[in-house]
Structure 1
């Protein structure tokens, strides 16, 4: 077989170029520290590397969301803790004020303290985060959620929205507690109604509970209870007689129209009170009622004042419990977020280890291979220089 000079020249050129390519590839790997720089280096490993990088990018986004949620929930839990302390102190202040031995000026000082506590609580409820958004406004983060109206009552302008953060695949965690859920909609201390007492009250009694016992037969209305002799009459808002309990005994509940009412103590003949449907109370309204009671010296040590006090204390306890529950929910969410953070940290560690196995370069092997390729390149180049200069005329 005859080999032409051109063929031999081309083969030598290709050998030199192949060796140069192999050497250049190893140099690229050494400079980057990666065994796989392009899909062509290892197609199978490149697919795995791409998948792992995508997973790590998703985990990074989850971690950012978790940081956001953690900051909001930590601040929420802290503020609700402050609110819990403030509302808890109101009970002590009210009990201290309803003391017959205090003068009007001393009671007024306590009322002023209660008013200051109310304003502090309002400031907590209107807390802003570092971005200037109201924390307890639901979705209405740009609007102040709580404010006094013309009557001096606190009204809520936010909504019940919970802002979620995605902290895992298909997993969301609420990053806020809506203001109505924390401060406005506490269960009534009596059940489903509020009681209204008269200044003419003589007997030492108060409504212990008033709830809807049978929703199917329940008739919504305002009902008035009056002791007529030893009998208890119940009338509706139109003054129509609903029921009469002969020889009324306060140890037995009164049942009518799907409602059950329990009294503590015994009304005297002629005593009257009413109940109005109210299943939820606001901690702000309860504190306002406490202030009004403390400032009204005519009610101190009276049966009416003691009955109103019992209802206020029940509603205060319910309001404190509502804030405690909201704080517990924030704490549980915070605990859940921290758990997902630990899970993602571990996941990224596993992914990074797998990624290192697929793409990281073994420097010792790479340097050995570089030396081999350089030796081969030098040999090929030497042969090519000799073959390239050989002609038949050298032997003639």
Structure 2
């Protein structure tokens, strides 16, 4: 078989170019430290590498979301802890103020202390994060959530919204506690109602609880209780008689219209009080009520004042419990974040190990292969140089 000069030349050139390409590929691998730089290097491994890189990118995003959630929940947990301490201290201040041996000036000092505590609590409830957003405003992070209205009551301008953060596939965690959940909507200390006592009260008694026991027969209304001799009459808002407890014994609850009311102590004949629906109370308003009670000389240490005090203390206890529950929720969320963070770190370690197996270069093998390709390239180049310089005239 005869081979033309041009065919021989092309074959030699192709051989040189092939060896140069192989050498260049190994040089790229040595430079990058990766065995697979393009899908063409190893199509099967390239698919696995792409999937692992996507998983790692997703894990990185989850970790960023977790860091964000940790910062928000950590700040909320800290502030709720401060609020819990402040509210718990108000109970002691209120009890100290209702002391018959205190002068009016001493009681005023305690009222001023309570007012300072209330201002501190309000400042906590209006806490901003590092971006200037109110952390207890729900989704209304741009405006102050708590403020006094014209009547001196504290109103909430936020909402009940929760801001979610995705921390794992299909796993969402709330990164905030809404202000109404933490400070406004504590269960009433009496149950489902609040009590209103009169200045004419003589007996040493208070409402211990007022709860709905049978929703099917429950009739919502404002009810008035009056002690008529030894009997306790209950009337609705239209003054219609609902029930009469003959020979009333405070050891037994009063049941009517699907609800149950229990008294602590026995009213005197002629004593009257009313209850109105109120299933939730605000700890901020409760402290306001305590201040008003302490500053009112016509109520302090009177039967009416003592009864109102009992209700205030119950509501303070409920407020402390509400804040504690909110704080506990943030603590549980932080614990969950730590758990998922650990899982993500472990997942990334496994992914990175697998990636290393698929794409990292074995330098010893690569250098050996590089030397072989260099030797082959030099040999092909040398042969091509010699063959290319051969002429028929050298043999004539």
Measured against the shorter chain, the TM-score band is over 0.9
Q: Does 1:73 align with 2:36?
A: no
Q: Counterparts in 2 of 1:52-63, with a 5 A limit?
A: 52-63=52-63
Deviation at 1:121, TM superposition (A): 0.4
Cα deviation, residue 298, structure 1? 2.2
Q: Which runs of 5+ in 2 are unaligned?
A: none
Q: Secondary structure at the match of 1:338?
A: helix
Asked if 1:290 corresponds to 2:290, the answer is: yes
Q: Tell me the CA shift for residue 241 of structure 1.
A: 0.9
Deviations 1:137-185 (A, max 9, x none): 0000001100000011100000000000010011110000000000000
Work out whether 1:196 is the aligned partner of 2:184.
Answer: no
Q: Distance in 1 between matches of 2:246 and 2:18?
A: 112
Look up the match of 2:147: 147
How far the C-alpha of 1:300 sits from its partner, in A, is 2.4
For residue 334 of structure 1, give the secondary structure of its aligned residue in structure 2.
helix
Classify the secondary structure of the residue corresponding to 1:298: coil
Residue 166 of structure 1 is matched in structure 2 by: 166
Question: What SS is found at the alignment partner of 1:252?
Answer: coil
Q: Which residue of the partner structure matches residue 209 of structure 2?
A: 209
**Aligned residue in 1 for 2:13:** 13
TM (normalized to structure 1)?
A: 0.99
Task: Say what the alpha-carbon RMSD is for the aligned residues.
Answer: 0.7
Q: For residues 55 and 301 of structure 1, what CA distance do their matches in structure 2 show?
A: 69
SS in 1 for 2:298: helix
What is the TM-score of this pair, normalised by structure 2?
Answer: 0.99
* CA distance in structure 1 between the aligned counterparts of 2:267 and 2:103, rounded to whole angstroms: 29
Superposition pairs for residues 128-147 of structure 1, below 5 Å? Answer: 128-147=128-147
Q: What SS does the aligned partner of 1:268 have?
A: coil
Structure 2 counterpart of 1:363: 363
1:1-396 alignment, distance < 5 Å: 1-396=1-396
Post-superposition, which runs of at least 4 consecutive aligned residues in structure 1 deviate over 6 A? none
Cα offset, 1:196, TM superposition: 0.7
1:128 Cα deviation (Å)? 0.4
Structure 1 distance, partners of 2:275, 2:263, is 12
Distance 1:298 1:99 in 2: 14
State the Cα distance separating 1:238 from its structure 2 match. Answer: 1.2
In structure 2, distance between residues paired with 1:167 and 1:261:
47
Shift of residue 301 of structure 1? 2.1
Question: Per-residue displacement from partner, 1:20-57 (whole Å, max 9, x unpaired)?
Answer: 11111111111111111111111111111111111111
Helix, strand or coil at the partner of 2:247: coil
Q: Secondary structure at the match of 1:371?
A: helix
| Equivalences, count | 396
1:60-107 deviation digits (Å, cap 9, x = unpaired) = 111110010000000000000000000000000000000000000000
- Distance (whole Å) between structure 1 residues aligned to residue 301 and residue 122 of structure 2: 30
Q: What SS is found at the alignment partner of 2:203?
A: coil
In the TM superposition, what is the alpha-carbon distance from 1:112 to its structure 2 partner?
0.4
CA distance in 2, matches of 1:187, 1:43: 64
